[in-house]
């Protein structure tokens, strides 16, 4: 199903799960055009992002302005989204096997 038109008219939302070095800039880039749910399990990081602060200190406050994004640590909020992008850590062990638990 092509949901692009509904993403454009904001009747459907995108979520980004894991707002670190990769997830936060990605979520903010999408939030310039679409309505985004930004989810992270770390409530302290979510609190900072709500105040327009990047916990990883890569982005300035400007990156947050004009963005349509709801920052949340509540997994129930992910139900509002119809397209999910996952950017959680996947550290590898000595055999280069990723830990997929996150």
Ligand X SMILES: NC(=O)c1ccc[n+]([C@@H]2O[C@H](COP(=O)([O-])OP(=O)(O)OC[C@H]3O[C@@H](n4cnc5c(N)ncnc54)[C@H](O)[C@@H]3O)[C@@H](O)[C@H]2O)c1
Of 1 and 96, which has the nearer Cβ to ligand X? 96
Residues in the chain: 102
Task: Give least dist CB 5 to ligand X, A.
Answer: 28
Other CB atoms within 10 A of residue 57 CB:
7
Q: Which is nearer to ligand X, 11 or 90 (CB)?
A: 90
For binding to ligand X (CB under 6 A), which residues are involved?
Answer: 17-23, 39-42, 45, 56, 87-90, 102
Cβ–Cβ under 8 Å, residues 89 and 83: no
Gyration radius (Cα) of the chain, Å:
14
The least CB distance from residue 16 to ligand X, in Å, is 9
């Amino acid at each position: 199903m092509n949901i692009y038109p509904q993403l454009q008219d904001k009747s459907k939302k995108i979520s980004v799960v894991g707002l670190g070095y990769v997830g936060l800039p990605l979520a903010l880039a999408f939030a310039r055009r679409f309505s985004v749910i930004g989810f992270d399990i770390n409530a302290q990081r979510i609190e900072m992002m709500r105040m327009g602060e990047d916990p990883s200190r890569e982005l300035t406050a400007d990156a947050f302005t004009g963005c349509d994004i709801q920052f949340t640590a509540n997994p129930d909020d992910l139900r509002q989204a119809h397209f999910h992008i996952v950017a959680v850590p996947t550290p590898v062990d000595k055999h280069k096997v990723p830990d997929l638990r996150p």
